[in-house]
Amino acid sequence: MPGAPQPPSERRWVARVRALAEPRARRAERACFVEGIRAVLAAEEAGLPVEAVLLCPESLRSEAAWDAVARLERHGVPRVDLPARRFAQLSDMDNPVGLAAVVGWAPAALDALDPPPGALVVIAEDVGDAGNLGTLLRTADGAGAAAVVVAGSGADPSHRRCLRASLGTAFRLPVALAGEGPRAVSWARARGMAVVATSAHAERAHWGVDYRPPLALVVGSEERGLRPETAAACDLAVRIPMWGTASSLNVAVATGVLLYEVRRAWGGG
Amino acid sequence: MPGAPQPPSERRWVARVRALAEPRARRAERACFVEGIRAVLAAEEAGLPVEAVLLCPESLRSEAAWDAVARLERHGVPRVDLPARRFAQLSDMDNPVGLAAVVGWAPAALDALDPPPGALVVIAEDVGDAGNLGTLLRTADGAGAAAVVVAGSGADPSHRRCLRASLGTAFRLPVALAGEGPRAVSWARARGMAVVATSAHAERAHWGVDYRPPLALVVGSEERGLRPETAAACDLAVRIPMWGTASSLNVAVATGVLLYEVRRAWGGG
């Protein structure tokens, strides 16, 4: 069933979305593709340049989403309507909500990050799963971290699954790429931060540690933990006590447990 | 490219895996399909009946996994080898590791759960995403919860994505289905537990609460939080303070933050 011929603007944006599946293209053009109502709204709220909004009118139910589409159109953002079948081809949701966008966003360079005095920062090394990285960003944002530094060879923060899992907090929270883990640790040190590593093998539990601000928490890969050279560069290592059979928590869960323990130690909110 | 004809035992097990995609079939037969090395190893370690092990010899690299396959074969478990293409059709991993199994497991009935004195229990209502539910189970296991009670109309604990995200902790941690949330709360009450709800609108932060054992923590849907009738049945509501733009944490992250705060209050580990 070939259906109606595809209009040229539709063809152009679908091609652009496909091109942005490549990390290299996202980096070179400082642009990304994001799907989901909250993530698109977050891009708009963050004042990011929206190149185009892609929607499936027959699927999109949220009134807030339709209002956002109208605002974007008023600001001259191209609107590309797709039939459900074509939208589903672009979507990676089980039940596509019918809203997506091409957004001018990319993670910052490490040197461009300038956390305020007394900041709490997360350094995430080798987090391989883009969804986990996005949930980690959402968690860091929720716990009031000033920035997340992404190190090592893990998932790309501009991956669509990361952006969606972050609920768009990636667009607000400063997120930077550090290259190798020790470089991120040096960066934090140079800004006066104490740098605390997490390790399943640390002697010290994460409770009752004197977490003085400013502070950087370093979390590692879901599979292998921190690289030895990164762990060695830190001031202190802590472990989250484990009672069960699995040897570790999911990395975003571990980050949440640590961040909220620091927040509690700092006097709560 | 039709390839070699499919052997009958292969055909039979592939059909069985497909049938177990239906929650009703899993419930009726008290069986599930699980993919991934850690989850299959966990089923074996938990002493569950393994109906068949499905593997892709050309993909499976882990020595521990091959050892487990050999042990299962010695115990008379049928082994079904699949070519990579057929294994990929059954898999929902981006890069299939080549190991899966049909396992005799289903969540327990609520009345069959018998947590020990002083237990910490999680009640999870309407958790819609199977991966989130699995991560929640892994988190509860890690924090030493005695059981997880799944209430409302969320994901099924025997969903393959839940089992995989749980890293197989679902097979060890008692997991029960409660039906409606208030029934789970009554069950906990009848066992002397204090029942603490989490809500974004609670006045009280989750810190500094007198969490006396035995205790049930109640967490709600990612989208809407707890149902009003479930929240009303609890003794107390707490909120996790939020600093960022998103209104909540991921439900598994929130569960981890709460469980570890209770553990800290109980004297740590």
Using one digit for the tens of pLDDT, what is the confidence trace for A163-200?
Answer: 999 999 999 999 999 999 999 999 999 999 999 999 99
Confidence (pLDDT) at B93: 86
Confidence (pLDDT) at A247: 83
pTM over 0.80: yes
Nearest in space to B98 (alpha carbons), one of B75, B69, B77, B130:
B69
Look at residue B268 and tell me whether its pLDDT is greater than 80. no
A 10 A CB-CB count for A67 gives: 11
CATH 3.30.1330.30 fits B8-103, yes or no: yes
Widest Cα–Cα separation across chain B = 66
Contact A197, A189 (CB under 8 A): no
**For A256-260, what is the mean pLDDT?**
98
Q: pLDDT tier at B269 (50, 70, 90 boundaries)?
A: low
**For A245-256, what is the mean pLDDT?**
93
**β B147-151/B175-179 pair status:** parallel
Angle formed by the axes of helices B251-265 and A251-265, nearest 10°: 50
Chain A positions touching B240 (Cβ under 8 A) are 142, 260
Q: Return the residue of B nearest to A203 by Cα.
A: B269
Residues B187, B190, B194: CA angle, nearest 5 degrees: 90
Tell me the nearest-neighbour CA distance from A74 into chain B, angstroms.
Answer: 25
Percent of chain A with pLDDT over 70: 98
Interface of B with A (CB under 8 A): 38, 42, 45, 131, 135, 138-144, 165, 167-169, 172-173, 205, 207-208, 240-246, 248-250, 252-257, 260-261, 263-264, 268-269
Confidence (pLDDT) at A1: 43
Confidence (pLDDT) at A224: 86
Q: pLDDT tier at A3 (50, 70, 90 boundaries)?
A: low
Residues 6+ apart with CB under 8 A from B94: none
Tens-digit pLDDT profile for residues B22-52: 999 999 999 999 999 999 999 999 999 999 9
Round to whole Å and give the CA distance between B224 and A42: 19
Confidence (pLDDT) at B56: 97
Order the strands of the A175-179 sheet from edge to edge.
Answer: A108-109, A175-179, A147-151, A120-125, A215-219, A194-198, A236-238
A 10 A CB-CB count for A162 gives: 27
**Choosing among A248, A257, A259, A261, which should be mutated to test the B contact, i.e. which has the most B CBs within 10 A?**
A257
Across the interface, whether the CB atoms of B260 and A252 are under 8 A apart is answered no
Confidence (pLDDT) at B236: 96
Say which residue the tokens 């391989």 belong to.
A128
Chain B positions touching A268 (Cβ under 8 A) are 205, 207-208, 241
Residues 6+ apart with CB under 8 A from B124: B133, B136, B148, B149, B150, B151, B154, B219, B251, B255
- In CATH terms, the fold of domain B108-265 is Alpha/beta knot (3.40.1280)
Specify the 3-state DSSP secondary structure of A17: helix
The yes/no answer to whether this complex scores an ipTM above 0.90 is yes
Confidence (pLDDT) at A269: 60
**For B133-150, what is the mean pLDDT?**
97
The average confidence (pLDDT) of chain A is 94
Confidence (pLDDT) at B8: 81
Tens-digit pLDDT profile for residues B107-120: 999 999 999 999 99
Across the interface, whether the CB atoms of B248 and A142 are under 8 A apart is answered yes
Confidence (pLDDT) at A79: 96
- Write out the H or E segment, with its range, that includes residue A156: none
Across the interface, whether the CB atoms of B246 and A169 are under 8 A apart is answered yes
Domain(s) of CATH 3.30.1330.30: residues in chain A = 8-103
What's the one-letter identity of residue B218?
V
CA B119 from centroid of its chain's CA atoms:
19
**For A244-261, what is the mean pLDDT?**
94
- And the tokens for B47? 């002493």
Look at residue A2 and tell me whether its pLDDT is greater than 70. no
Chain B positions touching A240 (Cβ under 8 A) are 142, 260
CA A51 from centroid of its chain's CA atoms:
20
Tens-digit pLDDT profile for residues A70-89: 999 999 999 999 999 999 99
Look at residue B254 and tell me whether its pLDDT is greater than 90. yes
Q: What is the DSSP letter of A5?
A: P
The average confidence (pLDDT) of chain B is 94
DSSP H helices in B118-250:
130-142, 160-165, 181-190, 228-233
Weakest mean pLDDT among A12-21, A128-137, A258-267, B241-250: B241-250
Confidence (pLDDT) at A4: 64
Confidence (pLDDT) at A94: 81
Look at residue A27 and tell me whether its pLDDT is greater than 90. yes
Domain(s) of CATH 3.40.1280.10: residues in chain A = 108-265
Specify the 3-state DSSP secondary structure of A196: strand
DSSP string, B32-64: EEEESHHHHHHHHHTTPPEEEEEE-TTT---HH
Tens-digit pLDDT profile for residues B154-210: 999 999 999 999 999 999 999 999 999 999 999 999 999 999 999 999 999 999 899
**For A10-39, what is the mean pLDDT?**
95
Tens-digit pLDDT profile for residues A116-125: 999 999 999 9
The β-bridge partners of B197 are B218, B237
